[in-house]
Structure 1
Protein backbone atom coordinates (compact mmCIF):
# COMPACT_ATOMS: atom_id res chain seq x y z
CA UNK A 1 0.00 0.00 0.00
CA UNK A 2 1.54 3.29 -1.11
CA UNK A 3 1.33 6.46 0.90
CA UNK A 4 -0.17 9.41 -0.90
CA UNK A 5 2.48 11.82 -2.00
CA UNK A 6 3.47 14.20 0.81
CA UNK A 7 1.49 12.40 3.54
CA UNK A 8 3.21 10.21 6.12
CA UNK A 9 2.40 6.48 6.06
CA UNK A 10 1.63 6.32 9.79
CA UNK A 11 -1.27 8.85 9.64
CA UNK A 12 0.59 11.24 11.95
CA UNK A 13 0.66 14.66 10.32
CA UNK A 14 3.21 16.93 12.03
CA UNK A 15 2.29 20.33 13.38
CA UNK A 16 5.84 21.47 14.04
CA UNK A 17 9.33 20.67 12.72
CA UNK A 18 12.22 20.55 15.21
CA UNK A 19 15.92 20.18 14.41
CA UNK A 20 18.09 18.80 17.19
CA UNK A 21 21.84 19.21 17.39
CA UNK A 22 24.18 17.39 19.77
CA UNK A 23 24.57 18.90 23.21
CA UNK A 24 28.34 19.01 22.63
CA UNK A 25 29.56 21.82 20.38
CA UNK A 26 33.27 20.97 20.43
CA UNK A 27 35.24 17.73 20.12
CA UNK A 28 35.91 16.30 23.60
CA UNK A 29 39.38 15.12 22.48
CA UNK A 30 40.87 18.07 20.57
CA UNK A 31 38.45 20.94 21.24
CA UNK A 32 37.71 21.62 17.55
CA UNK A 33 34.23 22.93 16.80
CA UNK A 34 32.00 20.08 15.61
CA UNK A 35 30.64 20.26 12.06
CA UNK A 36 27.33 18.96 10.72
CA UNK A 37 27.84 15.75 8.77
CA UNK A 38 24.47 14.10 8.06
CA UNK A 39 20.96 13.45 9.37
CA UNK A 40 21.21 10.79 12.09
CA UNK A 41 17.47 10.21 12.24
CA UNK A 42 14.21 11.69 11.06
CA UNK A 43 10.81 10.64 12.32
CA UNK A 44 7.34 11.85 13.14
CA UNK A 45 6.67 11.65 16.89
CA UNK A 46 3.26 11.87 18.54
CA UNK A 47 3.34 13.60 21.93
CA UNK A 48 0.57 14.82 24.20
CA UNK A 49 1.49 18.37 23.14
CA UNK A 50 1.20 17.62 19.42
CA UNK A 51 2.70 15.79 16.49
CA UNK A 52 6.35 16.70 15.85
CA UNK A 53 8.58 16.29 12.82
CA UNK A 54 11.88 15.47 14.58
CA UNK A 55 15.24 15.74 12.84
CA UNK A 56 18.34 14.62 14.76
CA UNK A 57 21.47 15.96 13.10
CA UNK A 58 24.81 14.13 13.36
CA UNK A 59 27.97 16.18 13.88
CA UNK A 60 31.61 15.10 13.80
CA UNK A 61 35.07 16.49 14.42
CA UNK A 62 36.47 17.80 11.09
CA UNK A 63 40.04 17.90 12.44
CA UNK A 64 41.99 15.15 10.62
CA UNK A 65 44.76 15.36 13.22
CA UNK A 66 42.25 14.32 15.89
CA UNK A 67 41.80 10.97 14.17
CA UNK A 68 38.12 10.67 15.11
CA UNK A 69 36.54 11.59 11.75
CA UNK A 70 34.17 8.60 11.84
CA UNK A 71 32.80 9.33 15.34
CA UNK A 72 29.44 11.07 15.23
CA UNK A 73 27.58 12.99 17.91
CA UNK A 74 23.80 13.24 18.02
CA UNK A 75 21.28 14.85 20.35
CA UNK A 76 20.52 12.89 23.51
CA UNK A 77 17.41 15.05 23.92
CA UNK A 78 16.03 13.91 20.55
CA UNK A 79 16.85 10.28 21.32
CA UNK A 80 15.04 10.61 24.67
CA UNK A 81 11.72 11.62 23.09
CA UNK A 82 10.56 8.08 22.35
CA UNK A 83 11.60 4.45 22.16
CA UNK A 84 13.68 3.44 19.18
CA UNK A 85 11.55 2.23 16.25
CA UNK A 86 8.38 3.89 17.57
CA UNK A 87 6.51 7.09 16.73
CA UNK A 88 4.95 7.68 20.14
CA UNK A 89 6.62 9.73 22.88
CA UNK A 90 7.06 8.49 26.43
CA UNK A 91 4.29 10.79 27.67
CA UNK A 92 1.83 8.93 25.40
CA UNK A 93 3.02 5.56 26.75
CA UNK A 94 2.54 6.76 30.32
CA UNK A 95 -0.97 7.99 29.49
CA UNK A 96 -1.81 4.58 27.98
CA UNK A 97 -0.60 2.87 31.17
CA UNK A 98 -2.65 5.25 33.31
CA UNK A 99 -5.78 4.71 31.22
CA UNK A 100 -5.38 0.93 31.46
CA UNK A 101 -4.41 0.59 35.13
CA UNK A 102 -6.09 3.55 36.85
CA UNK A 103 -9.14 4.05 34.65
CA UNK A 104 -9.51 0.34 33.71
CA UNK A 105 -10.12 1.21 30.06
CA UNK A 106 -10.19 -1.45 27.35
CA UNK A 107 -7.84 -1.30 24.37
CA UNK A 108 -10.74 -0.06 22.23
CA UNK A 109 -11.45 2.76 24.70
CA UNK A 110 -7.76 3.66 24.87
CA UNK A 111 -7.60 3.84 21.07
CA UNK A 112 -10.67 6.09 20.97
CA UNK A 113 -9.34 8.31 23.79
CA UNK A 114 -6.01 8.78 21.99
CA UNK A 115 -7.78 9.63 18.74
CA UNK A 116 -9.88 12.23 20.60
CA UNK A 117 -6.59 13.76 21.81
CA UNK A 118 -5.48 14.14 18.15
CA UNK A 119 -3.18 11.10 18.37
CA UNK A 120 -4.63 8.86 15.67
CA UNK A 121 -4.14 5.17 16.39
CA UNK A 122 -5.80 1.84 15.80
CA UNK A 123 -6.77 -0.76 18.39
CA UNK A 124 -3.80 -2.85 17.35
CA UNK A 125 -1.45 0.10 17.84
CA UNK A 126 -3.05 0.91 21.20
CA UNK A 127 -2.30 -2.66 22.26
CA UNK A 128 1.32 -2.24 21.14
CA UNK A 129 1.58 1.00 23.13
CA UNK A 130 0.28 -0.84 26.19
CA UNK A 131 2.83 -3.64 25.64
CA UNK A 132 5.65 -1.09 25.36
CA UNK A 133 4.42 0.51 28.58
CA UNK A 134 4.55 -2.87 30.33
CA UNK A 135 8.05 -3.45 28.99
CA UNK A 136 9.21 -0.11 30.40
CA UNK A 137 7.48 -0.88 33.69
CA UNK A 138 9.23 -4.23 33.92
CA UNK A 139 12.58 -2.63 33.07
CA UNK A 140 12.10 -0.10 35.87
CA UNK A 141 12.78 -2.68 38.58
CA UNK A 142 15.46 -1.27 40.82
CA UNK A 143 18.61 -3.20 41.62
CA UNK A 144 17.35 -3.62 45.21
CA UNK A 145 14.20 -5.40 43.99
CA UNK A 146 16.23 -7.57 41.63
CA UNK A 147 18.59 -8.54 44.47
CA UNK A 148 15.63 -9.35 46.75
CA UNK A 149 14.17 -11.58 44.04
CA UNK A 150 17.51 -13.37 43.59
CA UNK A 151 17.65 -14.06 47.37
CA UNK A 152 14.09 -15.42 47.39
CA UNK A 153 14.81 -17.66 44.40
CA UNK A 154 17.98 -18.96 46.04
CA UNK A 155 16.31 -19.48 49.43
CA UNK A 156 13.31 -21.36 48.03
CA UNK A 157 14.96 -23.10 45.10
CA UNK A 158 13.00 -21.05 42.58
CA UNK A 159 9.56 -19.58 42.10
CA UNK A 160 6.40 -21.35 41.13
CA UNK A 161 4.20 -19.22 38.91
CA UNK A 162 0.55 -19.84 38.13
CA UNK A 163 -1.25 -18.03 35.35
CA UNK A 164 -4.95 -17.79 34.63
CA UNK A 165 -6.85 -15.93 31.93
CA UNK A 166 -10.19 -14.20 32.29
CA UNK A 167 -12.15 -12.48 29.52
CA UNK A 168 -14.06 -9.74 31.43
CA UNK A 169 -16.45 -8.66 28.68
CA UNK A 170 -17.25 -10.11 25.30
CA UNK A 171 -14.92 -8.68 22.66
CA UNK A 172 -12.40 -7.22 25.14
CA UNK A 173 -8.86 -8.36 25.70
CA UNK A 174 -8.23 -11.30 28.00
CA UNK A 175 -6.96 -10.34 31.44
CA UNK A 176 -4.17 -12.61 32.61
CA UNK A 177 -3.57 -13.00 36.34
CA UNK A 178 -0.20 -14.28 37.50
CA UNK A 179 0.21 -15.66 41.01
CA UNK A 180 3.46 -16.71 42.56
CA UNK A 181 4.08 -19.39 45.10
CA UNK A 182 7.29 -20.70 46.54
CA UNK A 183 8.26 -24.25 45.82
CA UNK A 184 10.98 -26.59 44.68
CA UNK A 185 11.35 -27.39 41.03
Structure 2
Protein backbone atom coordinates (compact mmCIF):
# COMPACT_ATOMS: atom_id res chain seq x y z
CA UNK A 1 0.00 0.00 0.00
CA UNK A 2 1.33 3.44 -0.90
CA UNK A 3 -0.31 6.83 -1.09
CA UNK A 4 0.27 10.56 -0.83
CA UNK A 5 -1.60 12.32 1.95
CA UNK A 6 -2.27 15.99 2.67
CA UNK A 7 -1.35 17.18 6.16
CA UNK A 8 -1.35 20.58 7.83
CA UNK A 9 2.43 20.70 7.24
CA UNK A 10 2.32 19.76 3.56
CA UNK A 11 2.18 16.66 1.38
CA UNK A 12 3.64 13.40 2.75
CA UNK A 13 4.21 10.10 0.96
CA UNK A 14 3.57 6.98 3.05
CA UNK A 15 3.96 3.30 2.25
CA UNK A 16 3.18 0.18 4.24
CA UNK A 17 3.27 -3.58 3.83
CA UNK A 18 0.38 -5.66 5.12
CA UNK A 19 0.91 -8.90 7.03
CA UNK A 20 -0.81 -12.20 6.39
CA UNK A 21 -2.25 -14.37 9.16
CA UNK A 22 -0.19 -17.60 9.18
CA UNK A 23 -2.03 -19.35 12.00
CA UNK A 24 -3.69 -22.29 10.23
CA UNK A 25 -6.09 -22.84 13.15
CA UNK A 26 -7.33 -19.24 13.01
CA UNK A 27 -10.63 -18.45 11.29
CA UNK A 28 -8.86 -15.59 9.50
CA UNK A 29 -6.01 -17.76 8.19
CA UNK A 30 -4.55 -16.26 4.99
CA UNK A 31 -6.22 -12.90 5.50
CA UNK A 32 -4.15 -9.73 4.93
CA UNK A 33 -4.21 -6.95 7.50
CA UNK A 34 -3.57 -3.24 7.01
CA UNK A 35 -0.12 -1.86 7.92
CA UNK A 36 -0.81 -0.35 11.35
CA UNK A 37 2.00 2.23 11.37
CA UNK A 38 0.46 3.93 8.33
CA UNK A 39 -2.53 4.62 10.60
CA UNK A 40 -0.34 7.05 12.53
CA UNK A 41 -0.68 9.38 9.57
CA UNK A 42 -4.08 8.73 8.01
CA UNK A 43 -7.07 6.39 8.02
CA UNK A 44 -7.24 3.51 5.50
CA UNK A 45 -8.12 4.62 1.95
CA UNK A 46 -7.97 8.30 3.02
CA UNK A 47 -5.67 10.90 1.44
CA UNK A 48 -5.91 13.31 4.39
CA UNK A 49 -3.77 13.25 7.51
CA UNK A 50 -5.12 12.71 11.02
CA UNK A 51 -4.10 16.27 11.87
CA UNK A 52 -6.60 17.47 9.24
CA UNK A 53 -9.32 15.44 10.96
CA UNK A 54 -8.33 16.88 14.34
CA UNK A 55 -8.39 20.43 12.93
CA UNK A 56 -11.87 19.92 11.46
CA UNK A 57 -13.18 18.44 14.70
CA UNK A 58 -11.74 21.22 16.87
CA UNK A 59 -12.95 24.02 14.60
CA UNK A 60 -16.47 22.59 14.47
CA UNK A 61 -16.79 21.55 18.12
CA UNK A 62 -14.90 24.33 19.93
CA UNK A 63 -14.81 27.24 17.48
CA UNK A 64 -18.35 26.49 16.24
CA UNK A 65 -17.37 27.03 12.61
CA UNK A 66 -19.53 25.80 9.75
CA UNK A 67 -18.12 23.24 7.33
CA UNK A 68 -17.74 25.80 4.54
CA UNK A 69 -15.74 28.06 6.89
CA UNK A 70 -13.46 25.16 7.83
CA UNK A 71 -12.99 24.35 4.15
CA UNK A 72 -11.83 27.91 3.44
CA UNK A 73 -9.45 27.80 6.41
CA UNK A 74 -7.91 24.57 5.15
CA UNK A 75 -7.47 25.94 1.62
CA UNK A 76 -5.66 28.97 3.04
CA UNK A 77 -3.32 26.52 4.78
CA UNK A 78 -2.63 24.70 1.48
CA UNK A 79 -4.96 21.71 1.94
CA UNK A 80 -6.98 21.09 -1.24
CA UNK A 81 -10.43 19.96 -0.11
CA UNK A 82 -14.09 20.65 -0.87
CA UNK A 83 -16.99 21.14 1.53
CA UNK A 84 -18.35 17.64 0.94
CA UNK A 85 -15.08 16.01 2.02
CA UNK A 86 -14.90 18.27 5.08
CA UNK A 87 -18.25 16.76 6.12
CA UNK A 88 -17.00 13.20 5.54
CA UNK A 89 -13.84 13.86 7.56
CA UNK A 90 -15.89 15.35 10.39
CA UNK A 91 -17.96 12.15 10.55
CA UNK A 92 -14.72 10.13 10.61
CA UNK A 93 -13.53 12.35 13.45
CA UNK A 94 -16.66 11.51 15.45
CA UNK A 95 -16.15 7.79 14.73
CA UNK A 96 -12.57 8.03 16.02
CA UNK A 97 -13.78 9.60 19.24
CA UNK A 98 -15.88 6.48 19.78
CA UNK A 99 -12.71 4.41 19.44
CA UNK A 100 -11.32 5.85 22.65
CA UNK A 101 -13.93 4.09 24.74
CA UNK A 102 -12.62 1.36 27.02
CA UNK A 103 -14.59 -1.55 25.51
CA UNK A 104 -13.34 -0.65 22.01
CA UNK A 105 -9.75 -0.76 23.22
CA UNK A 106 -10.39 -4.17 24.79
CA UNK A 107 -11.66 -5.51 21.45
CA UNK A 108 -8.59 -4.18 19.65
CA UNK A 109 -6.28 -5.72 22.26
CA UNK A 110 -8.02 -9.11 21.90
CA UNK A 111 -7.68 -8.98 18.10
CA UNK A 112 -3.96 -8.13 18.33
CA UNK A 113 -3.42 -10.98 20.82
CA UNK A 114 -5.17 -13.45 18.51
CA UNK A 115 -3.46 -12.56 15.23
CA UNK A 116 -0.05 -11.25 16.28
CA UNK A 117 1.81 -8.09 15.22
CA UNK A 118 2.20 -6.28 11.93
CA UNK A 119 5.25 -5.92 9.65
CA UNK A 120 5.35 -2.77 7.52
CA UNK A 121 7.61 -0.64 5.31
CA UNK A 122 7.17 3.13 5.25
CA UNK A 123 9.13 6.01 3.78
CA UNK A 124 8.87 9.76 4.09
CA UNK A 125 10.17 12.01 1.35
CA UNK A 126 12.56 14.84 2.17
CA UNK A 127 12.36 18.41 0.97
CA UNK A 128 15.35 20.48 -0.15
CA UNK A 129 15.61 23.36 2.33
CA UNK A 130 18.63 25.07 0.76
CA UNK A 131 17.21 28.35 -0.57
CA UNK A 132 20.25 28.89 -2.81
CA UNK A 133 19.79 25.48 -4.47
CA UNK A 134 18.10 25.26 -7.87
CA UNK A 135 15.99 22.40 -6.49
CA UNK A 136 14.82 24.34 -3.42
CA UNK A 137 11.46 23.05 -2.20
CA UNK A 138 11.63 19.87 -4.28
CA UNK A 139 10.59 16.60 -2.61
CA UNK A 140 12.86 13.57 -2.97
CA UNK A 141 11.87 9.93 -2.85
CA UNK A 142 12.66 8.09 0.40
CA UNK A 143 15.85 6.22 -0.55
CA UNK A 144 15.45 3.48 2.07
CA UNK A 145 12.27 2.31 0.35
CA UNK A 146 14.41 1.58 -2.74
CA UNK A 147 15.89 -1.37 -0.84
CA UNK A 148 12.56 -3.10 -1.37
CA UNK A 149 11.12 -1.85 -4.68
CA UNK A 150 11.58 0.66 -7.49
CA UNK A 151 9.74 4.00 -7.27
CA UNK A 152 6.03 3.73 -8.08
CA UNK A 153 6.28 -0.06 -8.39
CA UNK A 154 4.14 -2.50 -6.41
CA UNK A 155 6.56 -5.41 -6.90
CA UNK A 156 9.64 -6.09 -4.79
CA UNK A 157 13.19 -6.20 -6.11
CA UNK A 158 13.23 -9.92 -5.30
CA UNK A 159 10.44 -10.38 -7.88
CA UNK A 160 12.59 -8.60 -10.50
CA UNK A 161 15.55 -10.82 -9.59
CA UNK A 162 13.39 -13.97 -9.81
CA UNK A 163 12.07 -12.97 -13.26
CA UNK A 164 15.56 -12.16 -14.55
CA UNK A 165 17.06 -15.42 -13.26
CA UNK A 166 14.25 -17.61 -14.61
CA UNK A 167 14.44 -15.98 -18.05
CA UNK A 168 18.23 -15.77 -18.37
CA UNK A 169 19.38 -18.96 -16.63
CA UNK A 170 16.37 -21.29 -16.67
CA UNK A 171 15.34 -20.10 -20.16
CA UNK A 172 11.68 -19.86 -19.17
CA UNK A 173 9.17 -17.92 -21.25
CA UNK A 174 7.37 -14.97 -19.69
CA UNK A 175 4.09 -16.89 -19.42
CA UNK A 176 5.90 -19.71 -17.56
CA UNK A 177 7.43 -17.21 -15.14
CA UNK A 178 4.00 -15.66 -14.59
CA UNK A 179 2.57 -19.06 -13.66
CA UNK A 180 5.48 -19.71 -11.28
CA UNK A 181 4.93 -16.38 -9.56
CA UNK A 182 1.19 -16.99 -9.22
CA UNK A 183 1.91 -20.37 -7.58
CA UNK A 184 4.12 -18.47 -5.11
CA UNK A 185 1.28 -16.06 -4.32
CA UNK A 186 2.41 -13.10 -6.47
CA UNK A 187 -0.56 -11.69 -8.40
CA UNK A 188 0.82 -10.62 -11.78
CA UNK A 189 -0.06 -10.92 -15.47
CA UNK A 190 2.20 -11.76 -18.40
CA UNK A 191 2.37 -8.14 -19.58
CA UNK A 192 3.74 -6.95 -16.23
CA UNK A 193 6.25 -9.82 -16.17
CA UNK A 194 7.63 -8.41 -19.44
CA UNK A 195 7.79 -4.90 -18.04
CA UNK A 196 9.60 -6.08 -14.91
CA UNK A 197 12.04 -8.06 -17.03
CA UNK A 198 12.93 -4.90 -18.97
CA UNK A 199 13.42 -3.08 -15.67
CA UNK A 200 15.68 -5.94 -14.57
CA UNK A 201 17.76 -5.50 -17.75
CA UNK A 202 17.97 -1.74 -17.17
CA UNK A 203 19.22 -2.24 -13.62
CA UNK A 204 21.64 -4.90 -14.77
CA UNK A 205 23.01 -2.70 -17.53
CA UNK A 206 24.06 -0.06 -15.01
CA UNK A 207 26.09 -2.51 -12.92
CA UNK A 208 27.93 -4.84 -15.30
CA UNK A 209 31.46 -3.97 -16.41
CA UNK A 210 31.24 -6.13 -19.54
CA UNK A 211 28.63 -3.73 -21.00
CA UNK A 212 31.58 -1.70 -22.28
CA UNK A 213 33.05 -4.85 -23.78
CA UNK A 214 29.78 -5.61 -25.59
CA UNK A 215 29.66 -2.08 -27.00
CA UNK A 216 33.28 -2.29 -28.14
CA UNK A 217 32.70 -5.66 -29.83
CA UNK A 218 29.56 -4.38 -31.55
CA UNK A 219 31.32 -1.25 -32.80
CA UNK A 220 34.20 -3.36 -34.13
CA UNK A 221 31.82 -5.73 -35.95
CA UNK A 222 29.40 -3.20 -37.42
CA UNK A 223 31.56 -0.08 -37.60
CA UNK A 224 29.55 1.75 -34.92
CA UNK A 225 26.53 1.70 -32.63
CA UNK A 226 22.81 2.41 -32.97
CA UNK A 227 21.31 4.02 -29.89
CA UNK A 228 17.62 3.70 -29.02
CA UNK A 229 15.43 5.04 -26.21
CA UNK A 230 12.17 3.48 -25.09
CA UNK A 231 9.82 4.70 -22.36
CA UNK A 232 8.16 2.18 -20.04
CA UNK A 233 5.24 2.65 -17.64
CA UNK A 234 5.43 -0.23 -15.12
CA UNK A 235 2.05 0.50 -13.57
CA UNK A 236 0.33 1.76 -16.71
CA UNK A 237 0.31 5.31 -15.36
CA UNK A 238 2.50 7.80 -13.51
CA UNK A 239 6.27 8.18 -13.82
CA UNK A 240 8.00 6.88 -16.96
CA UNK A 241 11.15 4.76 -16.99
CA UNK A 242 13.35 5.79 -19.96
CA UNK A 243 15.73 3.04 -21.07
CA UNK A 244 18.77 3.62 -23.31
CA UNK A 245 19.94 0.52 -25.18
CA UNK A 246 22.17 -0.40 -28.09
CA UNK A 247 20.10 -1.87 -30.93
CA UNK A 248 22.56 -4.12 -32.80
CA UNK A 249 23.61 -6.03 -29.68
CA UNK A 250 20.37 -5.55 -27.73
CA UNK A 251 22.36 -4.25 -24.75
CA UNK A 252 20.54 -2.12 -22.15
CA UNK A 253 22.96 0.58 -20.98
CA UNK A 254 21.16 3.02 -18.71
CA UNK A 255 17.76 4.10 -17.39
CA UNK A 256 16.26 7.21 -15.82
CA UNK A 257 12.88 7.79 -14.17
CA UNK A 258 11.07 11.03 -15.00
CA UNK A 259 7.49 12.24 -14.45
CA UNK A 260 7.41 13.33 -18.10
CA UNK A 261 9.71 13.69 -21.10
CA UNK A 262 11.82 16.83 -20.64
CA UNK A 263 14.42 17.55 -23.31
CA UNK A 264 17.07 19.13 -21.09
CA UNK A 265 16.96 16.36 -18.50
CA UNK A 266 17.25 13.73 -21.21
CA UNK A 267 20.21 15.56 -22.76
CA UNK A 268 21.99 15.69 -19.39
CA UNK A 269 21.30 11.98 -18.90
CA UNK A 270 22.79 11.13 -22.33
CA UNK A 271 25.97 13.22 -21.88
CA UNK A 272 28.20 10.36 -20.58
CA UNK A 273 27.24 8.17 -23.55
CA UNK A 274 27.70 11.00 -26.01
CA UNK A 275 31.39 11.08 -24.98
CA UNK A 276 32.01 7.41 -25.80
CA UNK A 277 34.62 6.91 -28.53
CA UNK A 278 32.41 4.74 -30.74
CA UNK A 279 30.89 6.01 -33.97
CA UNK A 280 27.10 6.37 -33.85
CA UNK A 281 25.50 5.00 -37.02
CA UNK A 282 21.93 6.06 -36.20
CA UNK A 283 19.46 6.76 -33.42
CA UNK A 284 16.04 5.20 -32.89
CA UNK A 285 12.96 6.12 -30.84
CA UNK A 286 9.20 6.49 -30.94
CA UNK A 287 7.51 9.72 -32.02
CA UNK A 288 8.00 11.56 -28.69
CA UNK A 289 9.36 15.00 -29.64
CA UNK A 290 11.39 15.46 -26.44
CA UNK A 291 13.24 12.16 -27.00
CA UNK A 292 13.92 12.97 -30.66
CA UNK A 293 15.22 16.44 -29.76
CA UNK A 294 17.50 15.01 -27.04
CA UNK A 295 18.96 12.36 -29.36
CA UNK A 296 19.49 14.83 -32.21
CA UNK A 297 21.20 17.20 -29.78
CA UNK A 298 23.44 14.46 -28.38
CA UNK A 299 24.35 12.89 -31.74
CA UNK A 300 23.69 15.61 -34.37
CA UNK A 301 25.60 13.79 -37.15
CA UNK A 302 23.67 10.53 -36.79
CA UNK A 303 20.43 10.05 -38.76
CA UNK A 304 17.35 9.49 -36.65
CA UNK A 305 14.67 6.94 -37.47
CA UNK A 306 11.31 6.32 -35.89
CA UNK A 307 10.92 2.82 -34.45
CA UNK A 308 9.16 0.60 -37.00
CA UNK A 309 7.32 -1.33 -34.29
CA UNK A 310 5.79 1.89 -32.92
CA UNK A 311 5.11 3.17 -36.44
CA UNK A 312 3.33 -0.01 -37.52
CA UNK A 313 1.42 -0.08 -34.25
CA UNK A 314 0.12 3.41 -34.95
CA UNK A 315 -0.84 2.41 -38.49
CA UNK A 316 -2.70 -0.66 -37.22
CA UNK A 317 -4.95 1.40 -34.95
CA UNK A 318 -7.18 2.38 -37.89
CA UNK A 319 -7.17 -1.15 -39.34
CA UNK A 320 -7.75 -3.07 -36.11
CA UNK A 321 -11.52 -2.38 -35.76
CA UNK A 322 -12.10 -3.46 -39.41
CA UNK A 323 -9.93 -6.54 -38.93
CA UNK A 324 -11.83 -7.50 -35.78
CA UNK A 325 -15.15 -7.14 -37.57
CA UNK A 326 -13.87 -9.27 -40.49
CA UNK A 327 -12.63 -12.03 -38.16
CA UNK A 328 -15.97 -12.10 -36.33
CA UNK A 329 -17.83 -12.36 -39.65
CA UNK A 330 -15.53 -15.14 -40.89
CA UNK A 331 -15.98 -17.04 -37.65
CA UNK A 332 -19.77 -16.77 -37.96
CA UNK A 333 -19.65 -17.95 -41.59
CA UNK A 334 -17.25 -20.86 -41.03
CA UNK A 335 -18.56 -22.22 -37.72
CA UNK A 336 -21.20 -24.33 -39.50
CA UNK A 337 -18.73 -26.10 -41.81
CA UNK A 338 -17.67 -29.72 -41.07
CA UNK A 339 -14.25 -30.28 -39.57
CA UNK A 340 -11.45 -31.09 -42.03
CA UNK A 341 -10.35 -34.73 -41.42
CA UNK A 342 -6.84 -35.32 -40.15
CA UNK A 343 -4.32 -37.36 -42.18
CA UNK A 344 -4.75 -40.35 -39.86
CA UNK A 345 -8.52 -40.40 -40.50
CA UNK A 346 -8.18 -41.43 -44.16
CA UNK A 347 -9.40 -44.94 -44.95
CA UNK A 348 -6.38 -47.17 -45.46
CA UNK A 349 -5.95 -50.21 -47.66
CA UNK A 350 -4.06 -53.37 -46.77
CA UNK A 351 -0.70 -52.06 -47.99
CA UNK A 352 -1.11 -48.41 -47.15
CA UNK A 353 0.56 -48.56 -43.72
CA UNK A 354 4.03 -48.78 -45.19
CA UNK A 355 3.50 -45.83 -47.51
CA UNK A 356 1.70 -43.54 -45.06
CA UNK A 357 4.76 -41.57 -44.00
CA UNK A 358 6.10 -41.12 -47.51
CA UNK A 359 2.93 -40.07 -49.33
CA UNK A 360 1.39 -36.62 -48.92
CA UNK A 361 -2.36 -36.23 -48.44
CA UNK A 362 -2.74 -34.66 -51.88
CA UNK A 363 -0.42 -36.65 -54.11
CA UNK A 364 0.80 -34.98 -57.26
CA UNK A 365 0.15 -36.94 -60.47
CA UNK A 366 0.76 -36.28 -64.19
CA UNK A 367 -2.04 -34.44 -65.93
CA UNK A 368 -3.38 -36.38 -68.94
CA UNK A 369 -5.01 -34.58 -71.86
CA UNK A 370 -7.35 -36.51 -74.08
CA UNK A 371 -6.78 -35.96 -77.78
Compute the TM-score of the two structures, normalised by the length of structure 2. Answer: 0.26
**Higher share in strand:** 1
Structure showing greater relative contact order (alpha-carbon pairs closer than 8 Å, 6 or more residues apart): 1
**Higher share in helix:** 2
Compute the TM-score of the two structures, normalised by the length of structure 1. Answer: 0.47
Q: Report which of the two structures shows the higher radius of gyration computed on alpha carbons.
A: 2
